[in-house]
């Protein structure tokens, strides 16, 4: 056989193998890209087809409760939901399976925040009027102990690694021009100390898990305070530009993005959580009070007193859009997103006098779709 003939036959065979591999590779890549595109556009398709990202599935009426609500707490294993009714001086308890109210914890002054600690079967309540953190038994709700803080104790965030509860106290509600960020040890039920903040209004706070930083909304000065939890000190301040009165905050830690909502004017603001650079902003809703990042769906949910629930979509860390403006109820500013249950709980206060809103206080339960 001619050697040159073998040479060309081998070259042709190799070329055919490479061609077939290239065709299959392109087809596979195309299928993968199509799959990614389909997933990325699935939410938009659902919205376009009339399937909103949130669907109201249940309403729990609270006809005996007047006044405002502030924050939720949850006991997943025990199937309980807690809600602070600050003007009713109580914490309301709900069963997550039956979606009914099962108890009302009274004897409180002005409860703002509540946290259930399952490993200690303990309920921790931030009582602003009394200026205390109160510790209750998780089953009987009987008092265990309390830790004294300044009056006006309100916003709080819990660090499960240390067992510390950080509470914003003092400030405007205590007729002071400064606030304390008070450290309370939930293991020993003790007040450990304070970080003095030169601001009369502190609102929402969020902790990073990978480091010692805490991000605090300094509403009075329209800025974000970055606090080092190990040093117990403010290490830097980031101004919010283009709008004022930032209230609520959420964190996408893997992508280094900090989300804020301001009230004047209402804006949804995205910051780089490494340096405070403002990435983008979008119009928000009036009277925003709570916000949650849905990492699985790349969404941000914002609830506000005005009544609509704003759902933003994160296309990538730098690109965001308004996915939907879901009708809710006027007065529905307090909320809790529970990813394990695929639910968004919204507390709606009763409208007073001739104001628009609900004729009765209630908790609206939305399924996340």
Domains identified in the chain, total number: 2
254 and 297 part of one domain: yes
For residues 62 and 91, membership in a common domain is answered with no
Point out the domain boundary residue: 170, 200, 230. Answer: 200
User: What's CA 234's distance to the chain center, in Å?
Assistant: 22
Are 123 and 59 members of one domain? Answer: no
Are residues 364 and 246 located together in one domain of the fold? yes
Query: For residue 23, is it within any domain?
Result: no
258 and 182 assigned to the same domain: no
Give CA–CA dist 153/132, Å, rounded.
7
Q: 213: how many CB neighbours lie within 10 A of its CB?
A: 17
Distance CA 301, CA 116 (A): 23
Query: What's 187's domain CATH number?
Result: 2.130.10.10
In contact, 331 and 30? CB cutoff 8 Å:
no
Rounded Cα distance between 41 and 33, Å, is: 12
| pTM (2 d.p.) | 0.86
| Phi/psi-derived region of residue 79, left when phi > 0, alpha when psi is between -120 and 50, beta in every other case | left
- Give the CA distances from residue 184 to residues 66, 125, 157, 302, in Å, rounded to whole numbers and listed in that order: 30, 12, 11, 29
Q: Distance (Å, rounded) from C-alpha 173 to C-alpha 269?
A: 27
Residue 28 lies in a domain: no
**Two tokens, residue 57:** 């599935």
Each residue's pLDDT tens digit, 81-117 = 999 999 999 999 999 999 999 999 999 999 999 999 9
Mark which of 147, 171, 200 sits at the end of a domain.
200
Nearest to 268 by CA among 234, 296, 308: 308
The region of weakest confidence among 20-34, 106-120, 124-138, 262-276 is 20-34
Residues 58 and 82 grouped into a single domain: no
Q: Are 302 and 248 in a shared domain?
A: yes
Give the model confidence (pLDDT) of 151-160 as tens digits. 999 999 999 9
pLDDT tens-digit series, residues 36-78 = 334 334 444 445 546 899 999 999 999 999 999 999 999 999 9
Going from the C-alpha of 189 to that of each of 64, 120, 129, 145, 204, the distances in angstroms are 32, 12, 19, 7, 23
Q: What is the pLDDT of residues 219-270, one digit of tens each?
A: 999 999 999 999 999 999 999 999 999 999 999 999 999 999 999 999 999 9
Instruction: Compute the distance between CA of residue 159 and CA of residue 230 in angstroms, rounded to an integer.
Output: 12
The three-state secondary structure class of 199 is coil
Domain presence at residue 105? yes
- Residues of the domain holding 280: 50-66+240-369
Task: State whether 315 and 248 are in the same domain.
Answer: yes
């Amino acid at each position: 056989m001619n050697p040159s003939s073998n040479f060309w036959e081998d070259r042709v065979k190799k070329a055919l193998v490479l061609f077939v591999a290239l065709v299959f590779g392109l087809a596979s890549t195309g299928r993968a890209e199509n799959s990614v595109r389909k997933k990325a556009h699935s939410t938009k398709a659902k919205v376009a087809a009339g399937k909103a990202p949130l669907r109201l599935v249940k309403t729990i009426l609270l006809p005996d409760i007047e006044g405002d609500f502030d924050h939720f707490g949850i006991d997943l294993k025990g199937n309980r939901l807690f809600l602070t009714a600050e003007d009713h001086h109580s914490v309301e308890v709900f069963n997550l399976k039956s979606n009914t109210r099962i108890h009302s914890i009274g004897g409180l002054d002005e409860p703002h925040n509540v946290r259930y600690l399952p490993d200690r079967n303990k309920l921790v309540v931030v009582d602003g009027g009394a200026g205390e953190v109160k510790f209750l038994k998780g089953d009987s709700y009987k008092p265990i102990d309390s830790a004294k803080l300044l009056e006006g104790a309100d916003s709080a965030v819990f660090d499960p690694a240390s067992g510390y509860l950080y509470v914003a106290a003092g400030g405007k509600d205590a007729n002071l021009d400064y606030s304390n960020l008070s450290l309370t040890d939930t293991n020993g039920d003790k007040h450990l100390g304070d970080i003095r903040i030169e601001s009369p209004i502190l609102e929402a706070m969020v902790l990073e898990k990978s480091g010692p930083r805490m991000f605090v909304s300094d509403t009075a000065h329209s800025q974000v305070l970055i606090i080092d939890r190990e040093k117990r000190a403010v290490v830097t301040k980031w101004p919010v530009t283009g709008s004022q009165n930032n209230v609520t905050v959420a964190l996408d830690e893997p992508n280094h993005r900090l989300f804020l909502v301001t009230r004047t004017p209402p804006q949804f603001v995205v910051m780089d959580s490494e340096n405070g650079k403002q990435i983008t902003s979008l119009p928000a809703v009036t009277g925003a009070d709570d916000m949650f990042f849905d990492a699985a769906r790349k969404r941000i949910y914002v609830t506000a007193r005005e009544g609509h629930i704003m759902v933003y979509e994160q296309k990538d860390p730098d690109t965001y859009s308004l996915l939907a403006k879901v009708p809710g109820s006027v007065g529905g500013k307090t909320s809790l997103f529970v990813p394990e249950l695929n639910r968004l709980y919204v507390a709606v206060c009763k409208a007073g006098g001739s104001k628009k809103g609900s004729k009765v206080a209630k908790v609206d339960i939305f399924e996340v779709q």
